[in-house]
Amino acid sequence: MAIRQLVALLIWIFSTALAIAQAPPPIPSLPDTERRTQYSVSNSTGPLNVGFQIYGDDADPANWIQVYLNGILLAQSGNWTLTSPSGSLGNIARPITDAQITFTAAQTGTVQIVGARRPRRATQFAENRGVTARDLNQAISDAEAQLREQWDLRARTLQAPPGETLSLLPPAANRAGLGACFDTLGNVTTCASVSGSSFAAGTGISFSGTNPTTITNNIQAGQGITFSGTNPITIAAPTLGSSGYTSPGTGAVSQSITARLSHELWAQDFGAVCDGVTNDAAAFQNMLNAAGTLKLEAKFTGNCAISSTLSIANFQGLGLRGSSRGTATLIPITGIDAISVTLSAYIDLSNFSIQYPVGSLCSQVGSTAAIRVTTGSDFVIMDHLLISCPANGIILDTGGFASGGHGITNSIINLGAPPSQLGILVQGAPNGSDDNYISNVLIQNSATGASPGAAAILCKQCPGLRISGLKTNGAWNAGIQLTISNVQDGDFFVNGSSIEGIFGNGINIQRADNVSFFGVIEIVGNELSGAACVNAGTDLVGPWIANLVVNSNICISNVLSNAIAFFIDSSLGVSLVGNSTYSIGGTISNTRIGSQVNFGVVGPNTCMVPTKNANQYTSAVACSANSNTGSNVTLFTPY
């Protein structure tokens, strides 16, 4: 009996000791902290301690925690493993307090381990028995841990203030690849972008559909679009082809922006500042070179200072145009040509001003010109120009080579006071047919009768020159000086012009050497002035003009005595018909035909000399008769 009792006591003691040795540790309290642990690693695989209690059942750690590397969620499979030094995850008691993660490959950056227990309850407490305190603490702590994880997750989600309810997102198919915006009710909706968006390189905005897309913005200075990333950035837009820019008007066709802008170049494209001070010569020259090569129009606007001559050389088809004479001005320094054209053809200079420094009375000295067209150039057109204060306005000098077709039209040349020389100089080739023309041009200076300018137009070796619509103002020795030299043939025409302010001869015709023959000179329908309105006197060598036609002109003689309105003694034949002479007073001969004139017709021409009384012209006396009429000239009596 005593032996049996002793054996039973030993068994009880052993069992109790064994039970006490295998009992799990008590459930620790749950810290009031975020269930998240963060590390900074460099080329490391770990292990890294989880740092908080894990209550997950089974052995699927992907449903217990989440692992982020540099803010990117890493799937558990193939990237990391969860272990415990205490034993197998499926067998050790919960909670696991010493869990560790280990990466399958070395990582660098910020690692975050976050509690993410999947809610589930795969087992129940046994019915009809008591529940131990440990089991109850484990279940409650597990539930509280999940609630804490949801609390932490809530801080990372989009929320609305109390009392508001957010609507559902659009379906995934409708929102895929789009941005998130808020509609007029404050609910989340899809959109292309929002103000301040930053798109990573390689991504972008895609518009689809058939309706027009309008993008409006309010981007202010200092703001813009920032691209980040390492991939190439491509911003693509459709070219304006068949649905592109179309000029107004019937028959206009669409064209791309590239084609539309390829018609012209601007000085500002080449760095011109055009503030009236900065030297823009290099920018202009680069533009002209490019325009000449590409056969494009060169344009500019603003006040553009230049310190060297702009050269147009060896180009075929080039236009230099300003935005207008009032808004586009070249400002050359004193002593240079502004523009030089040589060995070029089909050149258009138009719609701008050339303004030299004003200086003292706008007086320049020397042989320079605002525009100089020289050897081997043809068809240079100068239109709608305003030239102020040059030494000479425009010089057309072919250097003795036949060329022409040049035109000066619809322009104004202001020369200032002497020593300014010539408004326009035309010097062509002998035996040629240059066929240049000057039309609707005003040439004026600020000279006085005591010191007049040389000539508004000087024509030397200029066969085929046609002048119409010329207007002169100021004071000139000659309105038009025609100086013929070398053996040459051709014609010369002046019509519809008003040549005023002349203190020498209105149109003065002379030869500089023993030139033997010149073609027809026609002076018709002009208002002329001067001591002689037309002077083609003899040099006692013989006639050297084939035919001289001076018809239907008005001559205002500005000398007080012994004036000859029309003096002709160098032409083989002459027509002097329908002219009216008007003298400011004194004796005047209406016409004088020299003895070397062989044939022609003179008259009827009219002449009157008013008598000045109390500052008014009140009466007239007859002019003196024609004199020295050639033997074969038919003379009509003036009336």
Give tens-digit pLDDT for 354-383: 999 876 557 666 788 999 998 777 888 899
> Residue 10 — very low, low, confident or very high, per pLDDT cuts 50/70/90?
low
Q: Where are the alpha helices (H) located in 220-277, listed in sequence order?
A: 257-261
DSSP helix/strand/coil, 416 = coil
**pLDDT for 239:** 46
**pLDDT for 143:** 86
Q: Where in the chain is the domain with CATH 2.160.20.10?
A: 279-635
**pLDDT for 637:** 39
> Which residue type sits at 343?
L
Tokens found for residue 560: 């007080």
pLDDT single digits (tens) 187-199: 888 876 544 455 5
pLDDT single digits (tens) 391-434: 899 998 876 555 678 889 999 999 877 766 789 998 876 555 56
C-beta of residue 311 within 8 angstroms of C-beta of residue 285: yes
Dihedral over Cα of 169, 173, 174, 177: its sign: positive
Give the distance, in angstroms, between the CA of residue 381 and the centroid of all CA atoms in the same chain.
25
pLDDT average, residue stretch 313-334: 88
> Residue 638 — very low, low, confident or very high, per pLDDT cuts 50/70/90?
very low
How many secondary structure helices (H) and strands (E) does the chain include? 5, 47
User: Can you name the residues that pair with 371 across neighbouring β-strands?
Assistant: 339, 394
Please, what's the largest Cα pairwise distance for the chain?
A: 191
Q: Which of 158, 156, 162 is nearest to 187 (CA)?
A: 158
- The least confident of 109-113, 327-331, 349-353, 488-492 is 488-492
Q: Is the pLDDT of residue 346 over 80?
A: yes
DSSP helix/strand/coil, 635 = strand
Q: Is the pLDDT of residue 206 over 70?
A: no
Q: Is the pLDDT of residue 46 over 50?
A: yes
Q: Which of 33, 65, 62 is nearest to 50 (CA)?
A: 65
Tokens found for residue 333: 């320094």
- Give the total residue count for the chain: 639
C-beta of residue 546 within 8 angstroms of C-beta of residue 522: no
Torsion angle of alpha carbons 243, 249, 250, 254, nearest 10°?
-20
pLDDT average, residue stretch 591-610: 67
pLDDT average, residue stretch 78-94: 90
Highest mean pLDDT: which range of 83-87, 254-258, 275-279, 481-485: 275-279
Between β-strands 532-536 and 502-511, what pairing exists: parallel, antiparallel or unpaired?
Answer: parallel
Highest mean pLDDT: which range of 129-143, 414-428, 624-638: 129-143
Q: Is the pLDDT of residue 279 over 80?
A: yes
pLDDT average, residue stretch 85-102: 90
CB burial readout 231-246, b (16+ within 10 A) else e = eeeeeeeeebeeebee
pTM beyond 0.85: no
Residue predicted with more confidence, 627 or 295: 295
Backbone angles phi, psi at 512, to 5 degrees: -95, -15
> Which residue type sits at 611?
T
Q: Is the pLDDT of residue 272 over 70?
A: yes
Residue predicted with more confidence, 65 or 216: 65
**pLDDT for 604:** 73
pLDDT average, residue stretch 260-269: 82
**pLDDT for 636:** 42
For 279-635, CATH number out of 3.40.50.1820, 2.160.20.10, 2.30.40.10, 1.10.3720.10 equals: 2.160.20.10
Backbone angles phi, psi at 206, to 5 degrees: -120, 125
- The least confident of 241-245, 462-466, 474-478 is 241-245
- Mean residue pLDDT across the chain: 79
Distance of alpha carbon 578 from alpha carbon 556, whole angstroms: 15
Residue predicted with more confidence, 202 or 272: 272
Distance of alpha carbon 111 from alpha carbon 65, whole angstroms: 13
Distance of alpha carbon 412 from alpha carbon 351, whole angstroms: 11
Distance of alpha carbon 388 from alpha carbon 338, whole angstroms: 12
> Residue 596 — very low, low, confident or very high, per pLDDT cuts 50/70/90?
low
Q: Which of 142, 152, 58, 72 is nearest to 112 (CA)?
A: 72
- The least confident of 74-88, 231-245, 276-290, 340-354 is 231-245
Between β-strands 532-536 and 339-342, what pairing exists: parallel, antiparallel or unpaired?
Answer: unpaired
Q: Which of 514, 510, 569 is nearest to 543 (CA)?
A: 569
Q: Which of 468, 401, 473 is nearest to 430 (CA)?
A: 401
Burial class of residue 87 (count of CB atoms within 10 Å of its CB; 0-12, 13-18, 19+): exposed
> Residue 277 — very low, low, confident or very high, per pLDDT cuts 50/70/90?
very high
Burial class of residue 621 (count of CB atoms within 10 Å of its CB; 0-12, 13-18, 19+): exposed
Distance of alpha carbon 382 from alpha carbon 364, whole angstroms: 22
pLDDT single digits (tens) 233-247: 555 555 444 446 677
> Residue 307 — very low, low, confident or very high, per pLDDT cuts 50/70/90?
very high
Q: Which of 141, 60, 69, 54 is nearest to 100 (CA)?
A: 54
**pLDDT for 242:** 42
pLDDT single digits (tens) 47-63: 999 999 998 887 789 89
Q: Which residue has the tokens 């690692």?
A: 111
pLDDT single digits (tens) 502-560: 888 899 988 777 666 677 889 999 999 888 888 887 665 667 787 889 998 888 876 65
Q: Which residue has the tokens 């642990």?
A: 37
DSSP state letter for 63:
G
**pLDDT for 460:** 82
Q: Which of 459, 543, 456 is nearest to 506 (CA)?
A: 456
DSSP state letter for 267:
G
> Which residue type sits at 113?
I
Distance of alpha carbon 485 from alpha carbon 460, whole angstroms: 7
Highest mean pLDDT: which range of 108-122, 266-280, 429-443, 488-502: 266-280
Tokens found for residue 26: 């008590």
Distance of alpha carbon 318 from alpha carbon 343, whole angstroms: 13
User: Phi-psi category of 410—alpha, beta or left, where left has phi over 0 and alpha has psi -120 to 50?
Assistant: left
> Residue 585 — very low, low, confident or very high, per pLDDT cuts 50/70/90?
low
Backbone angles phi, psi at 330, to 5 degrees: -90, 135
